[in-house]
Amino acid sequence: MPLETLDDATLDGAAVAVRVDVNSPLTADGALADDARLQAHHDTLAELTDRGARVAVLAHQGRPGGDQFSQLRPHAERFDELLDVPVSYLDATYNQQARDTVEALEPGEAVVLENTRFYSEEYMELDPAVAGGTHLVEGLVPVLDYYVNDAFAAAHRSQPSLVGFQQHLPSYMGRVMEEEISVLGNVDETPRPRVYLLGGAKVSDSVDVAWDVLESGMADQVLTTGVVGNVFLLADGVDIGDASSDFIYDQGYWDQIDRAADLLDAHGDRVRFPQDVAVERDGERHELGLNALPSADGEAAMDVGSETIRLYRSVLESAETVILNGPAGVFEDDLFGRGTRELYAAASEASYSIVGGGDTAAAIRKFDLTGFDHLSTGGGACLRMLTDGDLPAVEALRNAPTVREA
């Protein structure tokens, strides 16, 4: 089934649940530290309200037990500022009060319901049919006409608010979802040479992508940085020192070293790893070549060094397409922002560039970089889309009933 967009929906007066991804960094006192993901959904929400829908916004924030796990009041207040229509907040998600609130919405009004992950079923990966029978979904479906999924950044999760409503309601992609699918689903049509710059800390996802794009021939070169680069150094037999190795072990990525070594055996001519790294010594940035590792003082490798930046820049400068995910170093620390800043700047010069990842986008904002063609709202979802294709939430949209069937 083709995916339906908002162009296919008759919205006037309809009660619509729209799942967005506004999972954002919070300050210590619980305020939004960054509203980029809320801004990204502006056009979808504005279109729904402009076209007379009665809008119930569903979203999560953080993970149960984590320090970013919180109510959605700050998100609702920010949406109220961003949109021209009133946006209220309700600290309930699917009970009678939530149903009454949705039923009482006037055309063009919106309410942000409470964090979906306050309910235990929502934090489970469920088969879509099972997700369709959860309390959250069954509680809200009676007061809804349609479901819209705009939460691309969470579309790799098979959780009730992402895959369950499509079991019951005619369902549509929101504008963020539509744009992401159209760009990331057509990477194979972008010009060559095509270079993947993979860094950051989601090592297994990045190694998956590297394997996939090298085996399929999608990538002409893969450049590794960040923790991913450190794993490839270990895979090549470089002793990067206990601090960096322990970090990889503690994050549960030890098994990725063998996968990276196998990748170097199979496709070593198209994979690069750092030739030098930056550590902190006496409060300053200090660079070490591979022959100086492990560092006698045991410092962790926190960024790529100048020689790596020079080598990678020359590859990026000859690329037509660059696909970039994950910072090259601990860019949050001013000592270690250089690799990220300089490599991203080189990537932005390519004829076509695609960027994914929340921290990656934060680095781009921090360094005031422009010129990228597509800034994905997703991190894990973007990486998954670049390898597996369809995501669970998108697959569920494809299988949703049409207006006539519902």
Ligand X SMILES: O=C(OP(=O)(O)O)[C@H](O)COP(=O)(O)O
Residue 174 or 241 with smaller CB distance to ligand ADP: 241
Among ligand X, ligand ADP, none, residue 301 binds (CB under 5-8 Å by kind): ligand ADP
HSE, side-chain direction, 13 A CA sphere, residue 133: 4
Among ligand ADP, ligand X, none, residue 63 binds (CB under 5-8 Å by kind): ligand X
Q: Is 41 in the site for ligand X (CB under 6 A)?
A: no
Residue 44 or 377 with smaller CB distance to ligand ADP: 377
Contacts with ligand ADP by CB under 6 A: the residue count is: 20
Q: Is 341 in the site for ligand ADP (CB under 6 A)?
A: no
Report the side by side order of strands in the sheet with 87-89.
87-89, 110-112, 54-58, 15-19, 146-149, 171-173
Alpha carbons 58 and 19: distance in angstroms, whole number: 5
Residue number of the CB closest to ligand ADP reads 357
Alpha carbons 241 and 279: distance in angstroms, whole number: 11
Q: Taken in order 113, 116, 118, 119, is the CA torsion positive or negative?
A: positive
CA distances from residue 50 to 29, 44, 81 in whole angstroms, order as listed: 34, 10, 16
CB of 227 to ligand X, least distance (A): 15
CB of 319 to ligand X, least distance (A): 24
Residue 115 or 167 with smaller CB distance to ligand X: 115
Residue among 289, 355, 293, 299 nearest 322 (CA): 355
Region near ligand ADP per CB under 6 A, out of 13-21, 59-67, 322-330, 345-353:
322-330
Q: According to CB under 6 A, which residues from 194 to 213 bind ligand ADP?
A: 199-202
Alpha carbons 57 and 83: distance in angstroms, whole number: 13
Q: Is 379 in the site for ligand ADP (CB under 6 A)?
A: yes
Binding ligand X (rule: CB under 6 A), the pick from 17, 18, 20, 21 is 21
Residue 281 burial (10 A CB sphere; 0-12, 13-18, 19+): middle
Residue 91 burial (10 A CB sphere; 0-12, 13-18, 19+): middle
Q: According to CB under 6 A, which residues from 336 to 365 bind ligand X?
A: 358
Q: What is the DSSP string of 137-185?
A: HHHHGGG-SEEEE--GGGTT---HHHHTGGGTS-EEE-HHHHHHHHHHT
Q: Do the Cβ atoms of 51 and 65 come closer than 8 Å?
A: no
* Per-residue tokens: 119: 């309910």
Residue among 40, 27, 69, 114 nearest 358 (CA): 40
Q: Is 392 in the site for ligand ADP (CB under 6 A)?
A: no
* Per-residue tokens: 48: 């729904």
Q: Is 301 in the site for ligand ADP (CB under 6 A)?
A: yes
Region near ligand X per CB under 6 A, out of 10-18, 92-100, 224-232, 374-382:
374-382
Q: Is 357 in the site for ligand ADP (CB under 6 A)?
A: yes
200 is in an annotated binding site: no
Region near ligand X per CB under 6 A, out of 73-81, 170-178, 187-195, 377-385:
377-385
Among ligand ADP, ligand X, none, residue 329 binds (CB under 5-8 Å by kind): ligand ADP
- Quick count: other Cβ atoms within 10 Å of Cβ 205? 24
Among ligand X, ligand ADP, none, residue 21 binds (CB under 5-8 Å by kind): ligand X
168 is in an annotated binding site: no
37 is in an annotated binding site: yes
Alpha carbons 198 and 176: distance in angstroms, whole number: 23
Q: Taken in order 288, 289, 295, 298, is the CA torsion positive or negative?
A: positive
Q: Which residues of 315-351 are buried (b: 16+ CB within 10 A; e: fewer)?
A: bbeebebbbbbbbbbbbeeebbbbbbbbbbbbbbebe
CB of 371 to ligand X, least distance (A): 22
Binding ligand ADP (rule: CB under 6 A), the pick from 12, 100, 332, 388 is 332
Q: According to CB under 6 A, which residues from 129 to 188 bind ligand X?
A: 153-154, 157
21 is in an annotated binding site: yes
Q: Is 326 in the site for ligand ADP (CB under 6 A)?
A: yes
Among ligand X, ligand ADP, none, residue 108 binds (CB under 5-8 Å by kind): none
Q: Which residues are annotated as a binding site for substrate?
A: 21-23, 37, 60-63, 117, 157
Annotated binding site: 21-23, 37, 60-63, 117, 157, 332, 357-360
Q: What are the residues binding ligand X (CB under 6 A)?
A: 21, 23, 63, 153-154, 157, 358, 378-380
Binding site for ligand ADP (CB under 6 A): 199-202, 226-227, 230, 301-302, 325-327, 329-330, 332, 357-360, 379
